[in-house]
Structure 1
Amino acid sequence: MEAKKIFLSCAIAAMSYSVANAQQFDEMVYSPQSTTFKLFAPNDAKDVKVRLYGKGHGGKAVKTVKMKRTGDCQWTAVVPGDHKNKFYTFDTGRGESAGIFARAVGVNGKRGAIIDLNDTDPAGWENDVRPVIKSPVDLVIYEMHHRDFSIARNINIDAGTPNDIKVKRASTEYPGKFLALTEDWSINYLKSLGVNAIHILPSFDYASVDETKLDTPQYNWGYDPVNYNVPDGSYSTDPYNPHVRIIEFKKMVQALHKAGIRVILDVVYNHTFDIDGSNFQRTYPDYFYRKTADGKYSDGSGCGNETASEREMMRRFIVESVKYWIEEYHIDGFRFDLMGIHDIETMNLVRATVNEIDPTIFIYGEGWSAGTCAYPQDKLGMKANIGMMPGIAAFSDEMRDALRGPFSDDTKGQFLAGIAGGEESIKFGIAGAVEHPQVDCAKVNYSKKPWALEPSQMISYVSCHDDMCLVDRLRASIPNIKDDELIRLDLLAQTAVFTSQGVPFILCGEEMLRNKQGVHNSYNSPDSINRLNWNNPIRYSNVLDYYSKLISLRQNHPAFRLGSADLVRKHLEFLPSQDALVAFRLKNYAGRDDWRNIIVVLNANREARTVDVPEGKYTVVCRDGKIDENGLGTVNGTKVTVAPQSALIIHD
């Protein structure tokens, strides 16, 4: 067990990079004799105070202490006495806040809490081990919102699951909570599906759900940060007790780790819930935000503000926050919201810092911004600049939109709708966005040159939380689509994702044909829109079986996850494309696979298609919406026929 962690709210460790005058964020060091508070605030701040409270919500301060300036932008106060389990706020004259690096808070995060973090470690926490991953391309990422996943779980589950999906008939004791992911039913389901990494939507303390009114249904994705380094109380069983949200989050991580599943945290360092009420602004006005040349707040986030990652203390904040989630909560990866707002130097520093802890911790993000940033685009973490950020990945909207149609128009289809023109973009995604001699980037949407150094820098996906889910998109873009056609195209889309050389990513519930009733942006829609329907009558159809076997196929065959651009160029050979059809071969025991040559054909046409292949005798392992690695028959010769709107996978 490490030394007692009796401090709260940002004790910053010694840095491996220089910081002028060794300035610190807010720091609180407790002892039974006294508590010392330090704060990073302007030198010219007037009447800086720290206030102590008996409760985390309501009531008057029991003590107010003036802080003294003890260094450049450094303010200090020592409060005699034992104040454990009390609450505190800082006040620099712009309103009270918990500071920018609170590690425990009261309800709704308005006040910091003085606790011993050792009291939040579950039994056996010191033995918690990160599941082994040799390469990012070995990951299968499952994006999940806590409430979506478990809020509607109940015992009315149809009997008769597919052979490979055994889910215990059980309800949850903790609907919508961190602890739902510690229960047998959820662990068994995720293991049976085959995913090995859970990407949880923002789980830090955020603004839009009132933790004092949890009996009233409330919903938000959580992209409105308040306290970046504390779990959100709405997902805990008691948001008033600052210990509970921390220990329950750790129990969740611990249970998933025991099941061999990594935990990836969605982080939103690019903006805050607002400006005037933010902890950043109340602590050091205008330091942490970018402004345009005319003095207005820059809005690259689309939320009214964007943070200035290039400034030394904001950069340091991001790096130290990532370190804290790894060291205190054993987090295994980070998805950076609107990574294109952050500067490249900061992202590379995050990667270098994480490498010192564990190089297998995965970092990826959205390689774009939501608007124009007040910082040079060639210095930002945009997708086009991924080559300058080794070890960091980005989402491939090229492959996504080539499959299902443009993000900007839900009614327009592409490959899955049988429309020609997206084939080269799909090939770009299958190759992992790396340079490949058979990919004509002049015909690729959005990117006219490869942007990944290695295939592990590309996230392969067809849907995620902030868009129509796949079922809704298919219904919107293909008028009058019938269920059988929808299912065929759904399976075809995910076959493209999971046979690509990138890192595969799926939205929670796609495997049970989830829909959100056509809502594109469901960030605050009710449970009736966002929740998983565990009683979906097609929940136990061949769809779920196909997904699980598709994941197994990828995991069992290294040819689909070579992890090296050189190996991709050596072993991945594209066969001649047709309209709405892409075919490729993974040749010569790619990745030391047991299968010598693997051929994948993706046919989105409403008619069968014949494809030329190298002469041989092949075993069929995927055909007509079924997967069986032991074989579904054989084909011989130089031609194969692929059924409409389906994938064919064969090997010799």
Structure 2
Amino acid sequence: MMAADRNFFAYLDDMKIITILLPLSYHHGLSSSFSMTCDFQEHPLNIIEKRQIDNNMKYICEFSKEYSFEKQYLVTDEHGGKTELQIGAVIRTKAFDEKFYYDGDDLGVTFEEGQTRFKLWAPTATQVKIKLRPANSSFSEFVKMKREERGVWSVAVSRDLEFFQYSFLILVNQEWREAIDPYATAVTANGELGVIVRLEKTHRQRIPLPPFENPVDAIIYETHIRDLTIHPHSGVTNKGLYLGAGEHNTKGRDGGPTGLAYIKDLGVTHIEFLPFHDFAGVDELNRDKEYNWGYNPLHFNAPEGSYSTDPSAPYARIIELKQLIDQVHKLGLRVIMDVVYNHVYIRETSSFEKVVPGYYFRHNEMGLPSNGTGVGNDIASERKMVRKYIIDSIQFWLKEYHIDGFRFDLMGILDIQTMQEIRKVCDCLSPGTIILGEGWNLNTPLPVDQKAIIGNQAKMPQIAQFNDKFRDCIKGSSFNLFDKGFAFGNEHYIEAANEVITGSIGFTKEGTALFNEPIQSVNYVECHDNHTMWDKLLACLPSADDSLRMKYHRLATGIVLLSQGIPFLHSGQEFFRTKKGDGNSYRSSDEVNQLDWDRMISYKNQVEYIKGLIQVRKEFPCFRMRTAAQIRKNIQQLQLPSPLLGYWFNNDDGIILLINPSIKKQEVLLTVRDWAVLVDHENAGITTIRMLDGRDLIIEPVSINVLLKK
């Protein structure tokens, strides 16, 4: 039936509830009876509610029989008008979830003896076909799929289909849609079609890594695959590509290390790459014409092609990404993957929406797609098959690519149960996998007590969250460019700073615990989002000279590295990275986003200082206490005049941490003599800079200091 032939509309909104909309222009919207026909059998509907909505009369009707999703139904009214029954809000009911939940591990493409099997979960479809096309051919063949239990469609093709391109044709609500397999692991250039590959051809041995005992032992370094290497003087051959990011022994203009070698030399433990699943925003066949961070997900289980040497070769991106990960592992470093399961690039054209329209996304009370993400759609992770998809995807990346951690973009959109199950899967498959996310409380139609947000941290004790309180009180608000934090000399933030430096666990009597344990707090003052800290300092202190800005910058970074919790650095932060004032560079030019390796050389002293602080953190366990109880037992706050902060670590290390954010020298009287200075305003490391013979210590302006008891 063509849409133009419909007299009215009818939707299945619950397993036995049908909503009918009669336009007022059609018999004034009035009908005293409706019936439903299927397989030449007519069943009356019971009208249980009627009311006018705008230019329609809305009827809520009840269907006494059991609805079969395998069949097509017509709804008829007393006037002889008719319409096909469309799948409506029923897909967002718990009954639908229970009826069609499929727990198999074989969705997508699997291989059997002499066969290639395809499975697609599409419970609302009445027909499904697979479209197959050999590589480099315009000829397509269509194979009908058979409906099986739990809404899964399946077919086995008895021949070798390696390199074949494929998609699914799905008939839902009398409309055919073509969709790429949501479980596709390989795609053509720009993700236009799925490609059948044999991943076992790309398997490799897992590279052993040094022990990793606790999340607070991590030092995370966030970067972007293109940014890391694209600079003209990066010393990298394969600039902007997976292979380039994995090159060892690259050198800059001064002969010093760049790229991956530089990151290893810096001393961090984990590299967090911005998204490298397949995303929109860059034409993979003309990658130098566009730039994108990668938060426009297209295909969650296939690597992005713009970082590959040949985006048209389906194996190239897979093999080259695995080579990058292996190269990182060979240096004893771990890889954190930035994952974007909270939304898709465009809901209407996504595989999710085409395969099961309306199921994968949240809708508000008006029935419209919600937009807590700000990009037009929110993934409904609380639904069983959405949760399954996310967990299956995490398992895939762990097993197939040997990923060591996941950073969840806008994690607050997702639900707690999904995150808890992800934690269990990671612990089972790869103990030590670090999970961190953005726990912002966003406006999505999910009960607050189910959101994976900071406010619910107690329900996710083994998942870390970005500590925006740390960021804003140490650096100043990210949403007010001119707001100065504690490290920039604003002593109004002193109590907040005291709390976050000690792990945000309610260390002070006045402090409110943001987290139960320090392993939950990701401490940062800069990331890919918003202005770099250097650009913020230029705005905050327009009349200051660079030497003062550098001191503030160094102090803020030092506080990140020596606070309780998990330190997080933005790549280039250690040499005053600038984006030329661009506060949202997600699609800006390479000139804005690239890591400037010449700037690294110019500020080599700063880099050495940050390296020294990293050494101090790794050498002395007092800076990475595992529990809130340890922090309360072993840290004693020193009584110092504002705005100084000082801490005595009275465990085996015997260390004092002193912080002076003011532009004046400050005198501190120590209770005992004989201290070795490890960190001062100019130098940092695990070797003694000088000894203190007396009890008096002059702390230089805007500095962080570490003393070791001898």
TM-score by length of 1: 0.88
Q: What corresponds to 1:358 in structure 2?
A: 430
Q: Structure 1 counterpart of 2:399, which letter?
A: E
Aligned counterpart for 2:567 among listed residues 496, 501, 504: 504
| Alignment gaps of 5+ in structure 1 | 1-16, 156-170, 442-448, 590-594
Higher mean displacement: 555-564 or 623-632? 623-632
Distance 1:234 1:67 in 2: 33
Q: What corresponds to 1:432 in structure 2?
A: 503
Please give the residue correspondences for 1:409-420 in structure 2 after superposition, counting only pairs within 5 Å.
Answer: 409-420=480-491
Distance 1:127 1:389 in 2: 29
Q: Per-residue deviation at 1:470?
A: 1.4
Q: Is the 8 A contact 2:419 2:460 kept in 1?
A: yes
Which structure is larger by alpha-carbon Rg, 1 or 2? 2
Higher mean displacement: 514-523 or 25-34? 25-34
Aligned residues: 599
Higher mean displacement: 64-73 or 282-291? 64-73
Q: Structure 2 counterpart of 1:440, which letter?
A: E
Q: Per-residue deviation at 1:132?
A: 2.1
Name the SS of the counterpart of 2:211 in structure 1: coil
Q: Which fold has the larger relative contact order, with Cα–Cα distance below 8 Å and residues 6 or more apart in sequence?
A: 1
Name the SS of the counterpart of 2:597 in structure 1: coil
Q: Structure 2 counterpart of 1:483, which letter?
A: D
Q: Deviations over 1:250-277 (max 9, x none)?
A: 1111111110100000001000001111
Q: What corresponds to 2:356 in structure 1?
A: 284
Q: Residue 275 in 1 paired to residue 338 in 2?
A: no
Q: What corresponds to 1:621 in structure 2?
A: 678
Distance 2:103 2:314 in 1: 30
Q: Is the 8 A contact 1:385 1:451 kept in 2?
A: no
Q: Residue 120 in 1 paired to residue 206 in 2?
A: no
Closer/same/farther in 2, CA of residues 91 and 297 from structure 1, 3 Å limit: same
Name the SS of the counterpart of 1:85 in structure 2: coil
Name the SS of the counterpart of 2:328 in structure 1: helix
Q: Per-residue deviation at 1:96?
A: 2.2
Q: Is the 8 A contact 1:618 1:635 kept in 2?
A: yes
State the identity %: 35
Q: Per-residue deviation at 1:578?
A: 4.2
Please give the residue correspondences for 1:13-24 in structure 2 after superposition, counting only pairs within 5 Å.
Answer: 20-22=101-103
Q: Per-residue deviation at 1:538?
A: 5.2
Distance 1:578 1:478 in 2: 25
Q: Per-residue deviation at 1:153?
A: 4.4
Closer/same/farther in 2, CA of residues 293 and 130 from structure 1, 3 Å limit: farther
Q: Structure 1 counterpart of 2:147, which letter?
A: R
Q: What corresponds to 2:115 in structure 1?
A: 34
Q: What corresponds to 1:179 in structure 2?
A: 243
Please give the residue correspondences for 1:5-16 in structure 2 after superposition, counting only pairs within 5 Å.
Answer: none
Q: Per-residue deviation at 1:285?
A: 0.7
Q: Per-residue deviation at 1:218?
A: 1.2
Higher mean displacement: 244-253 or 483-492? 483-492
Q: Structure 1 counterpart of 2:594, which letter?
A: R
Q: Deviations over 1:570-629 (max 9, x none)?
A: 11122235444322121131xxxxx3x211111111111223443332111111221143
Please give the residue correspondences for 1:239-318 in structure 2 after superposition, counting only pairs within 5 Å.
Answer: 239-318=311-390
Q: Structure 1 counterpart of 2:213, which letter?
A: K
Q: Per-residue deviation at 1:55?
A: 3.1
Q: Per-residue deviation at 1:546?
A: 0.3
Distance 1:425 1:133 in 2: 30
Name the SS of the counterpart of 2:671 in structure 1: strand
Find runs of 4+ consecutive structure 1 residues off by over 4 angstroms: 636-639
Name the SS of the counterpart of 1:528 in structure 2: helix
Q: What corresponds to 1:558 in structure 2?
A: 621
Q: Is the 8 A contact 1:31 1:82 kept in 2?
A: no
Please give the residue correspondences for 1:564-643 in structure 2 after superposition, counting only pairs within 5 Å.
Answer: 564-576=627-639, 578-589=641-652, 595=653, 597-643=654-700
Q: Structure 1 counterpart of 2:424, which letter?
A: A
TM-score by length of 2: 0.81
Q: Per-residue deviation at 1:336?
A: 0.5
Distance 1:518 1:145 in 2: 19
Q: What corresponds to 1:134 in structure 2?
A: 213
Q: Per-residue deviation at 1:455?
A: 0.8
Name the SS of the counterpart of 1:233 in structure 2: coil
Closer/same/farther in 2, CA of residues 560 and 92 from structure 1, 3 Å limit: same
* RMSD, matched Cα: 2.0
Q: What corresponds to 1:648 in structure 2?
A: 705
Distance 1:49 1:578 in 2: 74
Higher mean displacement: 639-648 or 575-584? 575-584
Distance 1:404 1:55 in 2: 53
Q: Is the 8 A contact 1:139 1:503 kept in 2?
A: yes
Name the SS of the counterpart of 2:221 in structure 1: strand
Q: Per-residue deviation at 1:30?
A: 3.3
Aligned counterpart for 1:320 among listed residues 371, 375, 392: 392
Name the SS of the counterpart of 1:95 in structure 2: strand
Distance 1:563 1:460 in 2: 15
Distance 1:434 1:153 in 2: 45
Name the SS of the counterpart of 2:598 in structure 1: coil
Q: Residue 48 in 1 paired to residue 111 in 2?
A: no
Aligned counterpart for 1:220 among listed residues 286, 292, 306: 292
Name the SS of the counterpart of 2:228 in structure 1: helix
Closer/same/farther in 2, CA of residues 247 and 133 from structure 1, 3 Å limit: same
| Alignment gaps of 5+ in structure 2 | 1-97, 251-258
Q: Residue 523 in 1 paired to residue 586 in 2?
A: yes
Distance 1:577 1:372 in 2: 43
